[in-house]
Structures are given as C-alpha cells and as structure tokens.
C-alpha cells in the first residue's frame, strides 16, 4: 500500500509540471558499527539490515562478506558468523560459513563453504525484512592493499541466483595488525622442544666451565 501511494504521488507531481528524480522501487540498507576513529569495529561489527522489495512470506539464504576497497581487492577470506538480534519485520536464522574465493559485488557471489550458507531470512506478508545483527568476521584477512572496507550482503534464491543485494557505506579498516590463525596444538610441542634444547645447551656450557685445565 505504501509503495502504491508513492507511485500515485509521483504521477501527480509529474502531472503538475514539476521535475523530480525517479522514485526508487526499494530501499535496501545495511549499517555497520565503527569505533571513535571511524574504523570498522573488530573482530565483530553490528548494525541493521533492511530489504523492502522481496516476495512476501518467502525464505531466502544469505551471504555476508567484508570487501576491500578500491574495487579489485577482493573479500576477506575465512570464517564468518552472523547472530541476529531484534527483527522488526520478518525473521532470521544465524550460523557460520566460510568465504573461500572469487566474487564481485553486486553481480557475482563469492564461493562459500557450505553452499548455500546456513544463513536464512524470511520476509513478512509485505515482502519486507528488517533485523539487527552482529557479524564476526576474519579481521586478520582484510586484503592488505585495501584502504577502505564495506560490508556486502546478498539475498539468494533457492536456485542459487541473486534475488537482491545491499552494501554498507565504506569505512576505514579495523585497527590492528593481521593475526595468523595458528592452532594451539602446534605451539605446545614447539615450546617443549625449545625448553629442552635450552636445558641441554645449559648443561654443556656448565660442563665446559667445570672441566680442569690441562697440565
């Protein structure tokens, strides 16, 4: 009903001889959280996602990714986890997935594991979806040449095609150097080897000092 009224209003304005910009058929929006310096919060960011022109009472899957800018830097590869908060319109299911490779916003999805992702959204009877969210993303894998980043989100049909998409405004990358993901199980044996090697070296030096001088 709201969209119908907007279209009627636009026709009346044009009929009156007033030049206006074309009205947008949808108002998809996505916000992200930033720190005091205007940098994307890390290792999680949060905000609100709204889609206004989807099929009523329909379930879609979703893909969310942090993109490095300028264009061509690609996405932050690795594990993403979305948790949903309050939904003003529709409902959603969170979960985790990995961005593996490829992709180009807005027309090509990056390769994900699994595919489709476990992220699900369902619209209300007006085809509207609007929920708050928190996204944990691989902050250490932001493309090294990226000077800014943005958060892209695709709505995906059951057949794997893109239904629609939205991206956040671009912001500065989150502060902090990349941190490699090294399993603790690898670090523990390495530490033990270093301790043992140090002890052996200590004993050899002690024996060398204690040895009597030749007559």
Is the Cβ–Cβ distance between 99 and 77 less than 8 Å? yes
Is the Cβ–Cβ distance between 64 and 82 less than 8 Å? yes
Average pLDDT over residues 71-83: 96
Sheet holding 148-156, edge to edge: 91-93, 120-122, 59-69, 148-156, 162-167
For the whole model, what pTM was predicted? 0.71
Query: What mean pLDDT value characterizes the chain?
Result: 83
Q: Find out if CATH 2.60.120 is the number for domain 26-167.
A: yes
Judge whether residue 109 has pLDDT over 50: yes
Give per-residue pLDDT as tens, 13-57.
344 443 333 444 458 999 999 999 999 999 999 999 999 999 999
At 9, list the tokens.
């209003």
Distance CA 58, CA 64 (A): 19
- Predicted pLDDT at 208: 57
- Region of residue 159 (left: phi > 0; alpha: psi -120 to 50; beta: else): alpha
- Predicted pLDDT at 149: 98
- Predicted pLDDT at 15: 42
Closest among 105, 67, 63, 99 to 82, alpha carbons compared: 63
Distance CA 186, CA 164 (A): 43
Give per-residue pLDDT as tens, 155-165.
999 999 999 99
- Predicted pLDDT at 27: 87
Lowest-pLDDT range of 4-8, 13-17, 71-75: 13-17
Average pLDDT over residues 93-108: 97
Q: Above pLDDT 70, what percent of the chain? A: 70
Backbone dihedral angles phi then psi of residue 176, each to the nearest 5 degrees = 110, 140
Closest among 126, 116, 124, 128 to 154, alpha carbons compared: 116
Give per-residue pLDDT as tens, 164-202.
999 999 999 997 544 444 454 555 565 565 667 666 665
């Amino acid at each position: 009903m709201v969209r119908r009224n907007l279209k009627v209003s636009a026709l009346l304005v044009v009929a009156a001889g007033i030049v206006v910009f074309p009205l947008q058929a949808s108002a998809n929006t996505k916000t992200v959280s930033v720190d005091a310096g205007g940098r994307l919060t890390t290792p999680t960011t949060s905000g609100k996602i709204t889609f206004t022109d989807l099929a009523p009472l329909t379930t879609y899957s979703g893909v969310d990714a942090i993109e490095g800018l300028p264009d061509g830097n690609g996405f932050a590869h690795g594990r993403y986890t979305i948790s949903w908060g309050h939904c003003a319109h529709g409902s959603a299911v969170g979960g985790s997935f990995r961005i593996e490779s490829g992709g180009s916003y807005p027309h090509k999805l990056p390769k994900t594991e699994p595919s489709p992702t476990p992220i699900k959204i369902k619209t209300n009877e007006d085809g509207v979806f609007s929920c708050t969210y928190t996204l944990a993303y691989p902050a250490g894998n932001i493309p090294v040449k990226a000077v800014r980043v943005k958060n892209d989100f695709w709505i995906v049909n059951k057949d794997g095609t893109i239904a629609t998409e939205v991206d956040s405004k671009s912001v500065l990358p989150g502060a902090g150097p990349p941190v490699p993901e090294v399993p603790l199980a690898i670090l523990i044996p390495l530490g033990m080897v270093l301790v043992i090697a140090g002890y052996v070296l200590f004993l050899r030096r002690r024996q060398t000092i204690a040895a009597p001088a030749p007559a």
